[in-house]
Structure 1
Amino acid sequence: MHKKYAEKPPMVLISGSCLDFRKEREHIMELVGELEWGCHYQSKFECSSVGKTMGWDFFDLYFEMEFITTLSQVHPKMLKEEGNILEQQFLLWLGTQFRKMKKEYHLKLVETPYEVSKGFRIDPESYRNEETLWDLR
């Protein structure tokens, strides 16, 4: 039996919660549609419900990494948000965009795509020159 793997690009997974997902999904899709239209990018964005617990509806948002980098070029304020990586900055910026729409969602970064590396990633030759080596002698 052959396995068939999903042909999806690396996705950023954001988990969120709200009180009524059926109504709020339209607002989420509207905002993401405006962002896609603003940066002329057709993303493979997904918004799905996870379930309901204690009156809260939980949902997942899947964003492509290329879409986030394109958005960061179109909206440079995203890079001014607090955060160590672009995905964290995007999450905080997305939260402010929802607050501007008077929507309060509790968003959390769950999964980010990463590059598998083996060993040392920085090329030391890029940081050496003859002057610094001569000074070290």
Structure 2
Amino acid sequence: MDTLTPAGRSERMSRVKNKNTAVEWRVRRLIHGLGYRYRLHRTNLPGKPDLVFASRRKVIFVHGCFWHMHSACKLARMPKSRLEFWQPKLERNRERDRQVQCDLKKLNWEAMVIWECELRDEEKLAGRIHAFLA
């Protein structure tokens, strides 16, 4: 059962951002520190990627583990209340992510997904990013 009133839940959910999140900012700082430059949220590409490296034809998506259902991740647990709402919503997010990846591939763009939980080990993540962009 939800502990908030419907109005309280609506107000809290309205504060959830879909771009320029704290996780995204951390990834941006890491990539900038590695010496790479990028553009943000290009609307002419499928899925409006978080970071776009046009000269390399590569994009990076920064995904929250909960919102994009990162498999085998503690942060991606299914809510206990209102499953009839949450399950289809999160599944649609996952399906949309798959479709965006497919659409980008058809346009000859390479995509990388960085999960929120990967920021626990920034050194390892930096190596992965460098290998992707090199």
- The TM-score bracket by the shorter chain reads under 0.3
TM-score (norm 1): 0.27
When Rg is computed on C-alpha atoms for both structures, the one with the higher figure is 1
**By percentage of residues, which structure has more strand?**
1
Scaled by the length of structure 2, the TM-score of the pair is 0.27
